[in-house]
Chain A
Amino acid sequence: MASPSLDRYDPDQAPTSRDKGFDKLLDGIHRGVVAIDRGINRVIPEEFNPFYYLGGMTNVLWILLVPTGIFLWFYYKPTTADAFSSVNYLTAVVPFGGIIRGLHRYAGDGMILLAILHMLRNFFTDRYRGFRDVPWVSGVVLLLLTGIVGMTGYLLVWDQRALIVTTAIIQALQSLDGIVGGLGSFLAKALLAGNEPNNLTLARMFFLHVGPAVLIFFFLWVHYLRLHRPKIWPPMFVTLLTIGAVVLAAGILPVEKTLAAGVSLSPDQVPIVYDVFYLLPVLALPSLGGAGVLALLVLIFGILFIVPWLPRKKHRYVNVAFVTPENCTGCQLCAIDCPFDAIVMVEGANPNPRNKELAVVNDDKCAECGICVGACPFHAINLPLANEDMIKDKVVALLS
């Protein structure tokens, strides 16, 4: 069998060696995250640990948001005059309207919370760079879209809080005038469909609530693109836990009552409730100023977009699986077991005319895990740094 010149599986050469500096810090955090998992695993069987299904739980909430949103849309009137009263009508009069509005609201809150946890967990367990760059970048786009959808969702109610948020957005946009003359004012005017909030404003907000939500489906597809069997849906226990938590929240805490946008703020009224997950930029506006908040957001998302390449994964493409064509029978076992869809069966490429297909490894998708090596009974696929003969010799040597 053709084996490459690298004859030793050196642990220091392994892509996971994290001994110094920034990597050592990440390693420490990784241990902390896993220690939390271990605590949960003592209570719940490890196959059902919710921390292993944060992405799937986000998806459950997203799927929950779609039908509840369509229900709300049946009753919603996107005009400044009728929006608030139509929302009040569906909450108070329509059967289950209040519960469904609560579901939509808390599922949205939960979605952004779980998405951020999902991101942090994948960052801390070193699952964001190398072969996972596409899922990471598409995930950041999804986070951005979720933020936009959530923030415009608050505006649709058109109460006092919506007015405050709108004013904040306009203020932040107008601060762009200092950079490019007139750009901020133009964007603000485009957003409001005029200089002041008017009847067309909420139609635009409604589009900005639904349009990016449709884009989420597209980016979810990109998010799953490199996985063979993505964990889109968590186990039933975790699914029911997620939905149950949201239903419980909607039942116990009805969505707070607010005053219409037309009523001016008075000092003796109940303070307006802000959901920090979405409206943190708005809350930071008074202290940082419009330009400050925008710069901070651009900085955060800019860093998030390039973070897979910041501490570069050193040993990319060193240990990519390779096929020995003479041994390949075209049985597809490796292609079926590969979790990253990195092996394609090419018809007619096999050197042996009796065998129809040949396994070919896509280097960009290969995660260098070796699951295909364990799948192949014909010694046809191997990792260069951990050849199966080397491991077999090592087994014999350790036992002699």
Chain B
Amino acid sequence: MTQATEISTENKHIAKNGKPKIIGFVCEWSLGRNDIIHEDGTVKGYEHIKTIKIPCSGFVKTEWVTVAFENNAQGVFVLGCPLGDCHFNEGNFIINERLSQHVTRLTNRKTIDDAGRVAELYLGVTANSEFTQSLEDFSRYIESLPPLAAPVKKAKGAAKPAPKAAAPASAAGGDA
């Protein structure tokens, strides 16, 4: 029974190319005008990474990050202009503050298991290679993490057995 639920959750959080789903909020002043992102928001060469174009990184509501994780996203990133060079003066500093607070909240609530699931990138218009490089790194990091438990009540016990099972076993071994 547990196996069946595990398979169903795995299907949900994995994209068609077999990699965990990642969603990104992309400031249109940083890389938004770039040809590196398809019309539908998919990053070229990374079919599992979908992006949403926004007017400024400060526009991102932290609520949307939660919504993304509740809908089986395995990682979320926000892309803004380089710190100090926000087109709207301070949007990237503001989202930096808001996200650092929100990520702590998400990890405390156990919505996410690892603070690294939320990434902030600050890149200028021409930083194509840096952008793909950081996406590659982020994607690899997310792949190395165990799949995130879906926040639905039933799935809570089912999706997280692998890491949980390992931890008590080692603890028990230490006690003995």
Q: Do A and B bind each other?
A: yes
List residues of chain A with CB under 8 Å of any chain B CB. Answer: 9, 11, 14, 16-18, 27, 30-31, 34-35, 37-38, 41, 46-49, 51-53, 125-127, 227, 229, 231, 319, 337, 339-340, 367-371, 373-375, 377, 383, 386, 388, 391-392, 394-396, 398-400
B61–A374 touching, CB < 8 Å: yes
A399-B73 contact, Cβ under 8 Å, with A14-B28, A52-B85: yes
A125-B61 contact, Cβ under 8 Å, with A16-B29, A18-B33, A31-B125: no
Shortest 10 CB-CB contacts between residues of A and residues of B: A370-B59, A371-B58, A369-B88, A52-B84, A398-B50, A369-B56, A34-B124, A339-B89, A399-B71, A46-B82
A125–B87 touching, CB < 8 Å: yes
Chain A residues, Cβ within 8 Å of B62: 374
A369–B126 touching, CB < 8 Å: no
The distance from the CB of A323 to the nearest CB of chain B, in whole angstroms, is 16
Chain A residues, Cβ within 8 Å of B105: none
Closest residue on chain B to residue A35 by CB atoms? B126
B89–A399 touching, CB < 8 Å: no
A sample of 7 inter-chain contacts (CB < 8 A) reads A14-B55, A16-B29, A18-B33, A52-B84, A52-B85, A395-B73, A398-B50
Chain B residues, Cβ within 8 Å of A51: 85
Q: Does B21 contact A (CB under 8 A)?
A: yes
The distance from the CB of B61 to the nearest CB of chain A, in whole angstroms, is 5
Closest residue on chain A to residue B62 by CB atoms? A374
Interface string of B98-139 (1 = CB under 8 A from A): 100000000000000000000000101111000000000000
Docked CA distance A35–B123 (Å): 11
* B67-105 contacts to A (CB < 8 Å): 67-68, 71-73, 82-85, 87-91, 94-95, 98
A47-B83 contact, Cβ under 8 Å, with A30-B125, A399-B50: yes
Q: Main SS of the interface on chain B? A: loop
- Count A-B contacts at CB 8 Å: 131
Given contacts A35-B124, A392-B67, list 8 more A-B pairs with CB under 8 A. Answer: A46-B85, A227-B89, A337-B94, A374-B94, A374-B98, A395-B68, A396-B67, A398-B41
Chain A residues, Cβ within 8 Å of B127: 38
Chain A residues, Cβ within 8 Å of B95: 374
Chain B residues, Cβ within 8 Å of A383: 55, 59
A37-B124 contact, Cβ under 8 Å, with A383-B55, A386-B54, A399-B21: yes
Docked CA distance A340–B59 (Å): 14
B124–A399 touching, CB < 8 Å: no
The distance from the CB of B64 to the nearest CB of chain A, in whole angstroms, is 6
Which of B52, B71, B84 contacts A400 (CB under 8 A)?
B71
A373-B85 contact, Cβ under 8 Å, with A31-B125, A386-B54, A399-B50: no
Q: Does B159 contact A (CB under 8 A)?
A: no
Docked CA distance A67–B55 (Å): 43
A37–B21 touching, CB < 8 Å: no
Q: Main SS of the interface on chain A? A: helix
Chain B residues, Cβ within 8 Å of A374: 58-62, 94-95, 98
Which of B61, B85, B124 contacts A388 (CB under 8 A)?
B61
B126–A34 touching, CB < 8 Å: yes
Interface string of B38-63 (1 = CB under 8 A from A): 00010000000010111110111111
Chain B residues, Cβ within 8 Å of A52: 82, 84-85
Q: Does B149 contact A (CB under 8 A)?
A: no
Docked CA distance A53–B82 (Å): 13
Q: Does B23 contact A (CB under 8 A)?
A: yes
A396–B71 touching, CB < 8 Å: yes
Docked CA distance A48–B72 (Å): 38
Chain B residues, Cβ within 8 Å of A370: 54-56, 58-59
Q: Does B147 contact A (CB under 8 A)?
A: no
A9–B53 touching, CB < 8 Å: yes
A46–B61 touching, CB < 8 Å: no
Docked CA distance A339–B68 (Å): 27
Docked CA distance A35–B41 (Å): 24
The distance from the CB of B146 to the nearest CB of chain A, in whole angstroms, is 19
Docked CA distance A375–B88 (Å): 15
Docked CA distance A49–B85 (Å): 9
A391–B124 touching, CB < 8 Å: no
Chain B residues, Cβ within 8 Å of A17: 33
Give the residue among A48, A127, A229, A370 with the most B Cβ atoms within 10 A: A370
A11–B53 touching, CB < 8 Å: yes
Docked CA distance A208–B139 (Å): 63
Chain B residues, Cβ within 8 Å of A14: 28, 53, 55
A339–B90 touching, CB < 8 Å: yes
The distance from the CB of A33 to the nearest CB of chain B, in whole angstroms, is 9
Which of B32, B52, B73, B82 contacts A16 (CB under 8 A)?
B32
Closest residue on chain A to residue B41 by CB atoms? A398
Chain A residues, Cβ within 8 Å of B94: 337, 371, 374-375
